[in-house]
Amino acid sequence: MKRLTNKEEEVMRILWQLEKAFVKEILPKIKDQKLHYNTVSTIVRHLEDKGFVSHKAYGNTHQYFPVISKEEYRKHIMSLTSKRFFDNSYKSMVSFFAKEEKISAEELREILDIIEKEKNT
């Protein structure tokens, strides 16, 4: 699975939210309102080439839908981040967020509770 550009990720988030959409339905949800229809269409086609979306044809128009779930992509990105920046150690990654005060002790306790519950099921 390939890493997506920021714009591709934005379009994917929209498609995950909408579940299926025509380019004209994606366009108004994009933050950069200056993007042209053809640009968004090109982004969606690149996503299709990369295997992230597929389409159903209605004459000359296409309705796109995700074939990679948000969860699948999230796992992939977190794995890449862990490998690239934390020597494949999630412990180092969580420690980094704790040191940067991006996660509180209470949140860490909640995470531990989740891990314990998952372990016991």
Mean local confidence (pLDDT), 12-16: 97
Name the fold adopted by 6-66.
Arc Repressor Mutant, subunit A (1.10.10)
Confidence of residue 119 (pLDDT cuts 50, 70, 90): confident
CA distance 6 to 32: 12
Mean local confidence (pLDDT), 83-101: 89
Name the fold adopted by 71-119.
Penicillinase repressor fold (1.10.4040)
pLDDT averaged over every residue in the chain: 92
For residue 31, how far is the Cα from the chain centroid?
A: 16
Instruction: Say if CB 2 and CB 50 are below 8 A apart.
Output: yes
Question: Any bridge partners for residue 66, and if so which?
Answer: 53
For 86, phi then psi, to 5°, come to: -130, 25
Please tell me the predicted confidence (pLDDT) of residue 53: 98
Confidence of residue 103 (pLDDT cuts 50, 70, 90): confident
Element (H, E) at 63: strand 61-66
Please tell me the predicted confidence (pLDDT) of residue 102: 86
CA distance 44 to 49: 9
Q: Where are the domains of the chain?
A: 6-66, 71-119
Element (H, E) at 40: helix 37-49
Q: What percent of the chain has pLDDT over 70?
A: 100
27-86: pLDDT as tens digits? 999 987 788 999 999 999 999 999 999 999 999 999 999 999 999 999 999 999 999 999
